[in-house]
Amino acid sequence: MHKIGILGAAGIAPRSIIQPANRRKDTVIHAVASRRPGAAAAFAEKHGIIKAYESYEAMLADPEVGIIYNALPPAGHKQWSIAALKAGKHVLCEKPIAMDAKEAAEMVAVAEQTGRILMEAFHDRYHPAFLHLMELKTSGRLGKLKSVKAEFYVGIPFDPKSIRHDPSQGGGAMMDLGCYPVHWVRSIMDAEPEILSAEGTLNPLGVDQSMHVEMRFPDGTPATVIADIANPPFRGLLRLEGEHGIVELDNPCLPHRGHSIREWLDGEPYHEHTLGADTTYDYQLAAMVNAIDTGKTPITGGADAMGNMIAVDTIYRASGMRQS
């Protein structure tokens, strides 16, 4: 039985880890830790979790916990993921994996030293809808790609107290949201991009509320990435245009909440369809358990996590919002 501990009594945890774990026979949510007085106990009682800890250190010292789900803001990812790895735990860390590529590299190094699994929580990467687009590309049915476009919009009203708008906690459109479409195009291309240009708009705290990025991959394929937290409603799109056709996926991030795959392929009738029965989080937890059981690096493991963070850092530098 894989026993999971949750770092942070986070609002995302019920759908991202608790419910998927409860649907499996080989996983259980064993503990939760929060430094807010009483928060862990209340969270544990609400969700039927066995143990509640008022310090992260205490939960990491629990010998029964084998997997840590790090649901803290990005500013807490490096410190507490490394602490968990050194405590002998496997770590599923929320995205983005760190505040920058340097932190990500330190985390990956510790995972390698300890022989533990470190996996970034890009849950969408494991869903059949995304895997279908990957197969269309790798099989050659689209031919050589002519362009890739990835857009993600989520209306998040400005709140100076929200971590999503706080640069010190890893907020901003590219960190909180744009890491997804960057990951989509990197995954589709199976390569690292050259960032050609990046232009963002700022909120009153000086963090990006939108970002428009132009990039190019080693084979010459151009790609556009747009991330926006100030322009509702929620919408996402991944579009691949190849020599032999076009495919579009609506809602690549949360396809289990409704998605559409549209295909215009040479010699085939127009096809619109959906795929998958479980949530992205179910597929993600299955991948995490499989990585632990087999010892194989997951798709969103160390090298991939570092590649995504390097791209995000480069985008910020290209936009002028970071100097290093």
Give the integer Cα–Cα distance in Å for 285 and 247.
Answer: 28
Tokens representing residue 12 in the block: 């995302």
Give the integer Cα–Cα distance in Å for 298 and 287.
Answer: 7
Which residue in 3, 95, 137, 149 is the catalytic one? 95
Give the integer Cα–Cα distance in Å for 129 and 50.
Answer: 35
Active site residue 25: no
How far, rounded to the nearest angstrom, does the alpha carbon of residue 115 sit from its chain's CA centroid? 22
- Report the b/e string of 211-221 with b at 16+ CB within 10 A: bbbbbebeeeb
Catalytically annotated residues:
95
